[in-house]
């Protein structure tokens, strides 16, 4: 252990602890910009400098380990002045006149740059604003980069490389010309970007944000000739409340349904319905492959960031990936096929909207494969944040809204569906159904804890009819990359692009609560426990859909609308 003093207070910490972390233990929050807990440390922004008694130079506290007997001052006048000077240099080419720009900024209200400016006491900026000449990158269907707001902290670059194993962003040039860019400056839509949006949740400013589709949705709602339906993904309901100062993890689905009905959506449906449908189709696909020698492992297909990653990096595995479309796309296909027939509406007049915690869903909806109905299955995808924005624009007092139910015929769902939103949830849901179908016995305990939790890679073995079925779960694409080195050890693999699963998607509210993911996760599992049905094959509305339209899992009509193939 190392003994030292911080601001004259004694503390003992483990060897290797950084000054930043040691100060945190004593209750001092040193401002940072380039530092992020789960990324490698570069100490490049220098905002977190502190003074060490006896040393002339200030040191970055995030990148300096404590030493025996050190005496550290985190808040001397010199330290504060140097931080202010550094801050001015960082934002010399950032549009810091927030009176003009902040109102339209994606991070209006939760910009880390503003927060740091307040903490270090910036009162006026002496430098004149230097307009950057770099273009806004609009090449991606999912995310947009506005380099003028970039402070080159490098968090997006490291997230893309270290957590997502994609490495499509890089810092180019030197000195004041430094910028974040892509290979040959081609733009994110023209490189191997997975559209996961983890870069935008890492960004401290509004330099990266989703491609907005709110205006298109509002236009459709105002068009009297359009029949606008909406679906809401599992993970949205436990995070939306955060945008209205509600506690993370509270299931807001009832208020969300009411809000969207007030906005004028003709029908409000639940993606959970097609999560159940996915389990029927994917569960039976797994059973079929298990009985008929593969190809195994079967790998899940509902995360579009993972699919794009596989297309770029694992094209040899495309036959292992389930042919099921994602629940979002299955839903879209039903809203342009079965649904218009049922309610006697021209499918050309149906506008299918989805609310997703994920930016890659915007890309997925625009894939050319997603048009088997003769129409684009899903027309517009909004993130959880965009839905919150719309609710505010409509002047709705979200917290006080009464709670309404989802509409039929796609309103009933099971507990198995809602846990799709957490890493391991798709696997647990699939096993609940596969076990009962294969053994024709009731599963005693449906809580399959062994695939739950936030570890990046999880493994489990399940005995089904005397056969040991080996399964694995990975979330975060670096973890997926590591797991796939041993893919042949398993029968069934779940992969979600975002660490922790969709509850941590690139479209979710950006939170500074360190427990936010755990709270959202608990919200999903609590909802599962409260559901009348907890296994997808027990969903009466799914059973009716098979009776009325799809006939049986993997039928011809199922294959036509609910399955697809991906390409190298």
- Which residues belong to the active site? 282, 285, 302, 322, 361, 364, 369, 502
Q: Which stretch binds ligand HC1 (CB under 6 A): 5-13, 38-46, 228-236, 479-487?
A: 228-236
CB of 436 vs ligand HC1, minimal distance in Å: 21
| 149 in Cβ contact with 105 (< 8 Å) | yes
Nearest to 327 by CA among 259, 238, 432, 416: 416
Residue by residue, what is the 3-state secondary structure of 212-274?
Answer: CCHHHHHHHHHCCCCEEEEEECHHHCCCHHHHHCCCCCCCCHHHHHHHHHHHCCCEEEEHHHH
Q: Which of residues 466-525 bind ligand HC1 (CB under 6 A)?
A: 501-502, 505
Helix (H) or strand (E) run with residue 403 in it = none
Distance CA 219, CA 224 (A): 10
Sign of CA dihedral 33, 39, 43, 48: positive
Examine residue 201 and tell whether it contacts ligand HC1 (CB under 6 A): no
**Per-residue CA distances from 410 to 252, 277, 332, 502 (Å):** 18, 11, 12, 21
The four Cα atoms 189, 352, 274, 560 give a dihedral, to 10 degrees, of -80
Q: Which residue in the set 420, 454, 533, 549 belongs to the binding site for ligand HC1 (CB under 6 A)?
A: 420
CB of 324 vs ligand HC1, minimal distance in Å: 9
Q: Which of residues 300-329 bind ligand HC1 (CB under 6 A)?
A: 302-303, 326-328
Q: Which residue in the set 182, 271, 320, 504 belongs to the binding site for ligand HC1 (CB under 6 A)?
A: 271
Is the Cβ of residue 154 or residue 304 nearer to ligand HC1 in the bound state? 304
Q: How many Å separate Cα 109 from the centre of its chain?
A: 20
Examine residue 204 and tell whether it contacts ligand HC1 (CB under 6 A): no
Examine residue 60 and tell whether it contacts ligand HC1 (CB under 6 A): no
Grouping H, G, I as helix, E, B as strand and the rest as coil, residue 561 is helix
Examine residue 90 and tell whether it contacts ligand HC1 (CB under 6 A): no
Examine residue 387 and tell whether it contacts ligand HC1 (CB under 6 A): no
Binding-site size, ligand HC1 (CB under 6 A): 19
CB of 422 vs ligand HC1, minimal distance in Å: 8
Is the Cβ of residue 154 or residue 357 nearer to ligand HC1 in the bound state? 357
Q: Which residue in the set 356, 401, 429, 430 belongs to the binding site for ligand HC1 (CB under 6 A)?
A: 356
Helix (H) or strand (E) run with residue 472 in it = strand 467-475
CB of 471 vs ligand HC1, minimal distance in Å: 17
Distance CA 315, CA 293 (A): 21
The four Cα atoms 19, 25, 27, 31 give a dihedral, to 10 degrees, of 40
CB of 376 vs ligand HC1, minimal distance in Å: 15
Q: Write down the residue that tokens 């939760």 correspond to.
A: 110
Sign of CA dihedral 466, 467, 473, 478: positive
Is the Cβ of residue 333 or residue 462 nearer to ligand HC1 in the bound state? 333
x/- contact string, 134-173, with ligand HC1 (CB under 6 A)? ----------------------------------------
Is the Cβ of residue 117 or residue 193 nearer to ligand HC1 in the bound state? 193
CB of 303 vs ligand HC1, minimal distance in Å: 5
Task: Write out the two tokens for 294.
Answer: 């593969």
Is the Cβ of residue 154 or residue 234 nearer to ligand HC1 in the bound state? 234
| 489 in Cβ contact with 342 (< 8 Å) | no
Q: Which residue in the set 421, 499, 500, 506 belongs to the binding site for ligand HC1 (CB under 6 A)?
A: 421
Measured at CB, which residue is nearest to ligand HC1? 502
Examine residue 367 and tell whether it contacts ligand HC1 (CB under 6 A): no
Residue by residue, what is the 3-state secondary structure of 126-168?
Answer: CCCCCCCCCCCECCCCCEEECHHHCCCCCHHHHHHHHHCCCCC
CB of 502 vs ligand HC1, minimal distance in Å: 2
CB of 302 vs ligand HC1, minimal distance in Å: 3
Examine residue 358 and tell whether it contacts ligand HC1 (CB under 6 A): yes
Examine residue 423 and tell whether it contacts ligand HC1 (CB under 6 A): no
Examine residue 527 and tell whether it contacts ligand HC1 (CB under 6 A): no
Examine residue 451 and tell whether it contacts ligand HC1 (CB under 6 A): no
Q: Which stretch binds ligand HC1 (CB under 6 A): 18-26, 148-156, 175-183, 227-235?
A: 227-235
Is the Cβ of residue 159 or residue 504 nearer to ligand HC1 in the bound state? 504
Helix 384-393 with 214-222: angle, nearest 10 deg: 50
Is the Cβ of residue 113 or residue 275 nearer to ligand HC1 in the bound state? 275
Examine residue 370 and tell whether it contacts ligand HC1 (CB under 6 A): no
- The residues, any chain, with a CB within 8 Å of residue 254's CB and separated by 6 or more, are 402, 403, 404, 405
CB of 427 vs ligand HC1, minimal distance in Å: 12
Is the Cβ of residue 240 or residue 302 nearer to ligand HC1 in the bound state? 302
Q: Which of residues 233-252 bind ligand HC1 (CB under 6 A)?
A: 233-235
Q: Which residue in the set 191, 275, 473, 510 belongs to the binding site for ligand HC1 (CB under 6 A)?
A: 275
Examine residue 350 and tell whether it contacts ligand HC1 (CB under 6 A): no
Examine residue 120 and tell whether it contacts ligand HC1 (CB under 6 A): no
Is the Cβ of residue 70 or residue 388 nearer to ligand HC1 in the bound state? 388
**Per-residue CA distances from 205 to 146, 446, 468, 515 (Å):** 10, 43, 49, 22
Q: Write down the residue that tokens 């699919």 correspond to.
A: 307
| 419 in Cβ contact with 451 (< 8 Å) | no
The four Cα atoms 105, 107, 113, 116 give a dihedral, to 10 degrees, of 130
Distance CA 5, CA 502 (A): 42
Q: Which stretch binds ligand HC1 (CB under 6 A): 25-33, 151-159, 229-237, 441-449?
A: 229-237
Distance CA 72, CA 368 (A): 59
Q: How many Å separate Cα 130 from the centre of its chain?
A: 34
Helix 327-335 with 271-291: angle, nearest 10 deg: 110
Examine residue 361 and tell whether it contacts ligand HC1 (CB under 6 A): yes
Positions in the binding site for ligand HC1 (CB under 6 A): 233-235, 271, 275, 302-303, 326-328, 356-358, 361, 420-421, 501-502, 505
């Amino acid at each position: 252990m190392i003994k030292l003093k911080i601001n004259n207070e004694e503390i003992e910490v483990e060897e290797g602890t950084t000054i930043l972390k040691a100060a945190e233990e004593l209750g001092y929050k040193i401002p940072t910009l380039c530092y992020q807990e789960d990324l490698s440390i570069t100490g490049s922004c220098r905002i977190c400098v502190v003074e060490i008694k006896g040393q002339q130079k200030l040191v970055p506290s995030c990148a300096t380990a404590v030493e025996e007997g050190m005496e550290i001052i985190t808040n001397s006048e010199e330290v504060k002045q140097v931080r202010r000077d550094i801050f001015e240099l960082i934002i010399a080419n950032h549009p810091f006149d927030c009176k003009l720009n902040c109102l339209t900024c994606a991070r209006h209200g939760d910009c880390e740059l503003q927060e740091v400016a307040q903490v270090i006491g910036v009162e006026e900026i002496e430098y004149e604003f230097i307009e950057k000449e770099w273009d806004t990158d609009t090449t991606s269907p999912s995310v947009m980069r506005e380099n003028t707001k970039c402070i080159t902290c490098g968090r997006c670059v490291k997230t893309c490389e270290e957590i997502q194993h994609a490495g499509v962003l890089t810092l180019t040039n030197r000195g004041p010309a430094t910028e974040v860019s892509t290979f040959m400056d081609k733009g994110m839509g023209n490189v191997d970007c997975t559209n996961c949006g983890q870069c935008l949740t890492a960004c401290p400013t509004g330099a990266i944000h989703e491609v907005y589709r709110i205006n298109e949705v509002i236009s459709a709602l105002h068009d009297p000739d359009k029949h606008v339906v909406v679906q809401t993904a599992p993970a949205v309901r436990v995070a939306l409340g955060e945008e209205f100062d509600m506690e993370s993890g509270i299931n807001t689905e009832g208020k969300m349904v009411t809000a969207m009905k007030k906005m004028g959506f003709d029908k409000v449906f639940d993606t959970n319905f097609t999560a159940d449908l996915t389990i029927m189709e994917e569960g039976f696909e797994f059973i079929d492959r298990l009985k008929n020698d593969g190809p195994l492992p079967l790998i899940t297909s509902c995360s579009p960031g993972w699919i794009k990653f596989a297309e770029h990096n694992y094209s040899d595995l495309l036959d292992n990936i389930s042919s099921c479309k994602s629940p979002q796309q299955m839903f879209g296909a039903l809203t342009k096929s079965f649904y218009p027939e049922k309610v006697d509406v021209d499918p050309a007049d149906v506008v299918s909207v989805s609310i997703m915690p994920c930016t890659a869903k915007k890309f997925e909806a625009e894939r050319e494969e997603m048009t088997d109905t003769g129409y684009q299955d899903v027309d517009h995808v909004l993130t959880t944040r965009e839905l919150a924005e719309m609710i505010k624009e409509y002047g709705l007092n979200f917290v006080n809204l009464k709670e309404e139910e989802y509409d039929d015929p796609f309103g009933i769902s099971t507990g198995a569906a809602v846990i799709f939103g957490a890493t391991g949830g798709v696997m647990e849901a699939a096993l609940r159904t596969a076990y009962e179908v294969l053994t024709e016995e009731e599963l005693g305990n449906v809580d399959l804890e062994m695939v739950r939790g936030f570890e990046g890679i999880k493994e489990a073995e399940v005995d089904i009819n005397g056969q040991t079925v080996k399964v694995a779960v990975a979330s975060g694409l670096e973890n997926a990359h590591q797991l796939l080195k041993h893919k042949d050890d398993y029968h069934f693999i779940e992969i979600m692009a975002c660490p922790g699963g969709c509850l941590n998607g690139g479209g979710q509210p950006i939170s500074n609560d360190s427990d936010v993911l755990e709270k959202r996760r608990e919200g999903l599992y609590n909802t599962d426990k409260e559901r009348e049905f907890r296994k997808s094959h027990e969903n009466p509305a799914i059973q009716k859909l098979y009776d009325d339209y799809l006939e049986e899992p993997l039928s011809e009509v199922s294959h036509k609308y609910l399955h697809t193939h991906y390409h190298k």
